[in-house]
Amino acid sequence: MEYNVPTVADLVAKGETPEVLFWVGCAGSFDDRYKRVTKAFVKILNHVGTKFAVLGPEETCTGDPARRAGNEFLFQMQAMANIQVLDGYGIKKIVTACPHCFNTIKNEYPELGGNYEVVHHSTFLQELIDQGKITIEGGGSFKGKKITFHDSCYLGRANNIYEAPREVLKVLDADLVEMKRCKTKGLCCGAGGAQMFKDAEKGNKEINIERTEEALATGAKIIAAGCPFCMTMMTDGVKNKEKESEVQVKDLAELIAEAKEL
Amino acid sequence: MQYLPQIAFLAVFAVFGYFIYQRISRIKSNILLGQYQDFSDNSGDRWQTMLLVAFGQQKMFKRLIPATFHFFIYVGFVIINLEVLEFVLDGLFGTHRLFAPLLGAAYTFALNFFEFLAVLVVLACVVFLIRRNVLKVERFTKPEMKGWPAMDGNLILIIEVILMAAIFTMNATDQLLQEAGHDGYPQTGKFFFSSLFMPLFDGLSVSALVVVERVAWWFHIIGILAFALYVTYSKHLHIFMAFPNTYFSRLHAKGKMENMPVVTNEVKMMLGMPVENADAPPAEVGRFGAKDAIDLSWKNLMESYACTECGRCTSECPANLTGKQLSPRKVMMDTRDRIEEIGEAVAKGGTAGEDGKALLGDYITKEEINACTSCNACVEACPVNINPLDIILQMRRYVAMEESGSPASWNAMFQNVETNFAPWKFAPTDRFNWADELKTEK
């Protein structure tokens, strides 16, 4: 199948507007691992026929890591520039596979003049499932497999989204197991608050190792995630534990796309 | 001479009342040393939050065992203190058990219920003392709990046990005096729990019983007043501060950081965008972010007084769990210690910061604030909706914008965002390459 990745600029040139803008995010654009998530999500969007578009080269960092690291000027410069682009195209609805982008655009852009309906791709996928647009006959290749979901802080505690990703996993008819610390008590992967962009402070353990041990203790063969930073941290953790041949870290969109053999 | 006890009672009340009033005024003015922040919206939601979280103990019950025992003390505190009303009236009018003849059987029932609660309070205090001192529950033995905080926690529990013991002593001797038909001790019916202590005082003469009963009575009322004063210097102040603190909860999504309108105005000017109130004289721009306690908002400071150092925040902090210096509880304790210190200086006519000290640097280190993952586990864990994360992020703002003192890799990240529009060093022109890769995929 030929996959379409229209940019908003393309659509506008044709006098059209997208139903929803897919905000790819920096990790989804540049990180080799997370690019696979971006592609999986685009395949799903193509499959269900959503009229979407991306900003492509016009997209820039939301400013989240700068803000969390204390650089409010830089954050607001980024935010204002992004809002100008989004408003210039009349964007109303945004979907993103990054909880940090999601949180920033949804909760922090309104005060700076950017008002959009923002959904995380877990919620978006759940809606597609609820509408019957994504069905997986007999559960597909993940049927009966042990999967555990790692809550991203910026999806969970930050925005109270705990059920959507789990609902998405249910369509796989897998054996969903929970870690000891999950949902409101979920343990951070260690990368939030701009930690992704620096070494950890001195301690006696890396946070991602602590979390990975907990995930491995469930006996799950797949650690499902919904965040690019969690993806990196958990993947590194699994490698550190030398379990990469047995345990995979996968994004929700990848699991759906694989089950659908997209 | 017959009015002497009443005069003494009034004097005791006046003295304690004065000191408690002084202390409350100081705490209020300390809190108001913080920066203005508006919490006047959504009063309906705010009342509801206060009812659920403070009054209803909703978040406490995430940990069932401490929540249950804490509930005993909480209910005991609220309900047993109804009896204080009778104490006060008796003390003022020189009466004894004013309500006993008026309420009859209801009085007997009420006091038996109070005694039952008192038993639960003692049980809970003993369990808590064991958790702190024998089981040494980890969150009570962290470095910031050494010394005074540990002592404070134990003192509170011991004082509560002693106050309850005074009630039992008072009621037991009272019943013996009733049995002896001593003048001025009206019949109240049997109080089950205190009657168990009656054999302890059996051999005493009537006059000795009166002495014990009166001492216990005075001890209890003075004890309560002294406790009330002590509480204002203690982490135990949460019994009052939990209520305003939950009322002034942040109601927005936890992921949202507070905006800095002063930065918004500057950024808009830089971008040539219209600025609100552009004609107004430029407001005095204070510090960007927080260096000292007075740079924080009044709400941050109120939270520091509402913290009872339970450590649920710290026990769920991923940084603390993995051995980093950061402890969200310590952030709150340091904030309170520092604003107390500043308040003391201001009360003496001085100014904040004249001691050359600051919250950041002298109390909280950069290493601590740099360890935070902003995961909100501490915020979620706090039974009274305290937000240590907000303080940490304000300090990071100070370090980044006033000192340019962020870790080198963060400065590199800032530069990447500025020049490449991504936190990593990738060429902006490569941002859309993934789409080409997808199109060539089979």
The residue among B388, B309, B304 whose CA lies nearest residue B340 is: B304
Q: Look at A70 and B380 and tell me if their CB atoms are within 8 Å.
A: no
Residue showing tokens 């992020």: B393
What is the C-alpha end-to-end distance of chain B, expressed in Å?
Answer: 104
Residue of B nearest to A68 (CA): B393
Q: How far is residue B416's CA from residue A93's CA, in Å, rounded to a whole number? A: 28
Residue B359 contacts residue B394 (beta carbons within 8 Å): no
User: Which one of B63, B252, B374, B419 would you mutate to disrupt binding with A, by most A Cβ within 10 Å of its Cβ?
Assistant: B374
Q: Which run of H or of E encompasses A64? A: helix A64-68
Q: Look at A69 and B413 and tell me if their CB atoms are within 8 Å.
A: yes
Q: How far is residue B355's CA from residue A44's CA, in Å, rounded to a whole number? A: 62
User: Which one of A4, A36, A39, A61 would you mutate to disrupt binding with B, by most B Cβ within 10 Å of its Cβ?
Assistant: A61
Please list every residue in chain A whose beta carbon sits closer than 8 Å to the beta carbon of residue B409: 197-199
> Among partner residues B318, B395, B413, which is closest to A187 by beta-carbon distance?
B318
Residue B197 contacts residue B168 (beta carbons within 8 Å): yes
Q: How far is residue A132's CA from residue A121's CA, in Å, rounded to a whole number? A: 16
Beta bridge partners of B297: B35
What does the domain layout of chain A look like in residue ranges?
Answer: 8-124, 136-259
Considering just the CA atoms, what is the radius of gyration of chain A in Å? 18
Torsion of CA A130, A131, A133, A137, to 10 degrees: 50
Q: Look at B434 and A205 and tell me if their CB atoms are within 8 Å.
A: no
pLDDT tens track of chain B, all 442 residues? 678 889 999 999 999 999 999 999 999 999 999 999 999 999 999 999 999 999 999 999 999 999 999 999 999 999 998 888 999 999 999 899 999 999 999 999 999 999 999 999 999 999 999 999 999 999 999 999 999 999 999 999 999 999 999 999 999 999 999 999 998 899 999 999 999 999 999 889 999 999 999 999 999 999 999 999 999 999 999 999 999 999 999 999 999 999 999 999 999 988 888 887 666 655 566 789 999 999 999 999 999 999 999 999 999 999 999 999 999 999 999 999 999 999 999 999 998 888 999 999 999 999 999 999 999 999 999 999 999 999 999 999 999 999 999 999 999 999 999 999 999 999 999 999 999 999 887 5
**A93-96 sheet: strands from edge to edge:** A52-53, A20-23, A93-96, A117-120
- Please tell us whether the domain made up of A8-124 is placed in CATH 3.30.750.24: no
Please list every residue in chain A whose beta carbon sits closer than 8 Å to the beta carbon of residue B316: 185
Q: Which run of H or of E encompasses B180? A: none
Please list every residue in chain A whose beta carbon sits closer than 8 Å to the beta carbon of residue B385: none
Interface confidence, given as ipTM, is 0.96
Q: How far is residue B61's CA from residue B57's CA, in Å, rounded to a whole number? A: 7
Q: Look at B422 and A66 and tell me if their CB atoms are within 8 Å.
A: no
Fold match between A8-124 and A136-259? Answer: yes
Residue A80 contacts residue A88 (beta carbons within 8 Å): no
Shortest alpha-carbon distance between residue A214 and chain B (Å): 13
Q: How far is CA A10 from the centre of its chain?
A: 25
List, in order, residues 6 or more apart from B117 with CB less than 8 Å away. B72, B75, B76, B79, B80
Which fold is adopted by the domain A136-259? Rossmann fold (3.40.50)
Please list every residue in chain A whose beta carbon sits closer than 8 Å to the beta carbon of residue B378: none
Q: How far is CA B233 from the centre of its chain?
A: 11
List, in order, residues 6 or more apart from A210 with CB less than 8 Å away. A187, B318, B321, B322
Helices B4-31 and B328-347: crossing angle, nearest 10°? 110
Q: How far is residue A124's CA from residue A102's CA, in Å, rounded to a whole number? A: 12
Helices and strands of chain A, counted as H and E runs: 11, 8
Domains of chain B in sequence order: 4-31+63-247 (1.20.950), 287-410 (1.10.1060)
